[in-house]
A and B are shown apart, each in its own frame.
Chain A
Amino acid sequence: MDEKNKRTSFYQVLLKLIAGNSQWWLTPMLIIILLAILVILYLIQYKPSDFIYSLF
C-alpha cells in the first residue's frame, strides 16, 4: 500500500514537473523540430536523390 502511494506520488511529482515547467522541455523540443524541418527542406532542395523517398 505504502509503495503504491509512493509510486503515485512519484508520477504526480513528474507530472507536476512537466506541466509546471513546460519552458524547459518545450523549448528544446521546438528547436529540434524546427531544425529538423530545416534539414528536410535542405535535403529536398540541395541533395535530392532517389534515396530521399526512403526518408518517409
Chain B
Amino acid sequence: MEKKKAKLTLLQKAGLICCGVIFALLALEAGLRLAGGAMFFLDNLRNKPHASDGFETKDTFVVLCLGPCYTTGIGVMPEESYPFRLEAILARHYPGRRFLVINRGVRGKNLSFFVNNMEPLIKKYHPHLVVLNVNSRLTIDDENLLESISGSLDFTQRLKVKTGVFVKSLKVYKMFSLFFSPKQVWAPAADEKSFQSYSETAKESLSGIEIQRLQKAVENNPTDPLAWFESSRSYAWLGLYEIAAQQMNKAIALDPKDGRFYIELCWDYCFLGEYRLALEAQKKVFEVDHNFGSQLKKEIRAIWEQVTLHPEDCKLYDALGHKYALLMDYDSAIIFTKKALSLCPAIRHDYAKLKYYLAAQQILRNKPYKDDRFAVVPVVSDGVAWRFTKELRALLKSPEAKLSAQGLDGPKIFERLLEFDLEKAKRIAERRKIKLLLENSGSSLEQQEIIKNVSGLLKVPLADIYSALNDFPNPGLLFKTNLPYQFNAKGYDFIAEQVFKALQANNLING
C-alpha cells in the first residue's frame, strides 16, 4: 500500500517538473517575442520620418526603404543610416525638389516579411518608390517559403514541412540551434586582446601635429628623399594613399636605390586598388636590394618560432602573410592572411591586402584578375541560405537528387522564393502605381547570379551593392571594427551612393 503511494508521488513530482519545464519554455518564447516587439518598436521610433507632415504633399518625392539591419542602421546614428544618407544625396543632386526617404527597416527580417507588410506602409506613406533588400537569409524563417514551394509537395509532405517550419520558427528552437551552430567565420575573434594590441600600434600612428612637422621637414629639405619617405608614410597611416604614393614617387625619384621606398609604394598602390603598379614596385625591391630575399627569409623563420609559441596570435599570421607577400610567394601569403582574418576579422587592412595577393597571383599567372571575384566582404555567410535543403531532406526523408529533381534544392528554392516575393511586390507596386528597386547588401556570393537573373526576368531594377563592395579597394574600411558583419557610417554612405546611382541609371527619380 505504502509502495503504491510512493510511486504516485514520484509520478506527481515528475509531472510537476515537466510542468516547470513547459512553463519555462513558454515564458522564454514569450520573453524573446516581447523583446523582438520592443526592438521593432524602438527601431520604428528611432527612424521616425522627420517631416511627418511632408509626405502627403504632391511635390515631395517619397522613397520607402525596407530591409533588415542593413537598412535600419544598427550601431550607427539614425542620421548615418543609408536611407538618411540617400535623402541627403538626392537633395544635393536635385536642389529644386523635395525628397523624403523613409526608413522602415526591421532587423532580423527578410524579403517576405517586407513584401507581406508592404501594403499598409504604402497606404500610410504614399511613396513613389520602394527600395527592397534581398539578403542571404531569404530561405530561413521565411513566411512565404511554404507557399512558394507547395506546388512540388503532396499533402503529407506539406504537413511535414509545415510542422518543421513551425518548430523552426520558435524562438526557443532558434536559441538552441544558434548555440550549437558553428561559429561564423567572420565573427569577431575570441582573441580580442591580440587585436587590441595590434590596433594600439595603429593608434600610435601619426596625429595631425606630426603630419605638420613632417610636412615642414619636406618643405625645408625638398631634396631629402628620407623626408619625403617619412611624410609619405604618415599620409599612408592616415589612409590618404594617393598623396602617400605621390610623395613616395618623389622619394624614389631622388633616391632610386632604396628598397624601403618601393615596399611602401607597393602598399600604397595596394590600398588604392592599383594592383599592377603595386606588383611592379614590389619587383623593383629585388632589383635594388639583392639581400632582400635572404633577409626576408630570416625574418620569416623568426616569426615561425613565435607562431609555435603563440599559435592563436593573429598578429603573427598577419606578419607571416605580409612577409611571404614581399617574397612574392602569394600562395603562402593568402593562406596566412586568411588565417589571420579568421582569428581577428577586424584587421581591416588585411581585406585589402588579401585582394591584392589574389590579384597579384592572377597577374603573375597571366590571368585577368578581375574575373576572379572572391568574397572578402565580411558579411558573407555563404551556404546559410542553402541550409534549408538539408533540413527539408531530413523532414521529407528524401534523397538530395530527388529533391533537386522536384526543384527543391538550395539554389532553386532561393530562386523560387525570390521570384514569388518579387512578383508579389511587383503586383502591389503596379496596383499602387509605384516603382520598385532591389538592393542586395548582405547577400552572399553564391546568390548573386540568381538575384541578377530574377531581377532581370521580372524587370525589377537592381542596385548591385555586392559587386560594388567587391570592386571597392578595401571593403574592410566600410565595416565596423567590433562588429565586422555590420556596416559603419562610411559603409552606409557607400550603400546610399550605390542606390542613388541605380536610381539615376534606371531613371526612377524623374519618370
Q: Which residues of A pack against B, CB within 8 Å?
A: 17-18, 21, 24-30, 32-33, 36, 39-40, 42-43, 46-56
Q: How many residues of B contact A (CB 8 A)?
A: 47
Q: Which residues of B pack against A, CB within 8 Å?
A: 12-13, 16-17, 19-21, 23-25, 27-28, 32-33, 35-36, 39, 68-69, 74, 107-109, 135, 137, 140-141, 171-172, 174-176, 178-179, 181, 183-184, 187-188, 190, 379, 381, 384, 442, 483, 485-486
**Which residue in A28, A48, A49, A52 is a CB contact (below 8 Å) of B21?**
A28
CB contact under 8 A between A49 and B184, given known A43-B178, A56-B35: yes
Whether the Cβ atoms of A48 and B188 lie closer than 8 Å is yes
**Which residue in B19, B39, B137 is a CB contact (below 8 Å) of A51?**
B137
Whether the Cβ atoms of A25 and B19 lie closer than 8 Å is yes
Whether the Cβ atoms of B21 and A29 lie closer than 8 Å is yes
Whether the Cβ atoms of A49 and B187 lie closer than 8 Å is yes
Residues of A within 8 A of B137 (CB): 50-51, 54
What distance in Å separates the Cβ of B15 from its nearest Cβ neighbour in chain A?
A: 8
Whether the Cβ atoms of B140 and A32 lie closer than 8 Å is no
Whether the Cβ atoms of A17 and B12 lie closer than 8 Å is yes
Whether the Cβ atoms of A56 and B23 lie closer than 8 Å is no
- Within the assembled complex, what's the spacing in Å between the Cα atoms of A2 and B174? 46
CB contact under 8 A between A47 and B68, given known A29-B21, A56-B39: no
Whether the Cβ atoms of B24 and A29 lie closer than 8 Å is yes
Whether the Cβ atoms of A43 and B179 lie closer than 8 Å is yes
What distance in Å separates the Cβ of A23 from its nearest Cβ neighbour in chain B?
A: 9
A26's nearest neighbour on chain B, judged by CB, is B20
Whether the Cβ atoms of A50 and B16 lie closer than 8 Å is no
B181's nearest neighbour on chain A, judged by CB, is A47
Given contacts A32-B20, A53-B69, 15 further A-B contacts (CB under 8 A): A21-B16, A25-B23, A28-B20, A29-B23, A32-B21, A36-B24, A36-B28, A42-B179, A46-B190, A49-B184, A49-B187, A50-B69, A50-B485, A54-B174, A55-B178
- Within the assembled complex, what's the spacing in Å between the Cα atoms of A54 and B138? 12
What distance in Å separates the Cβ of B87 from its nearest Cβ neighbour in chain A?
A: 24
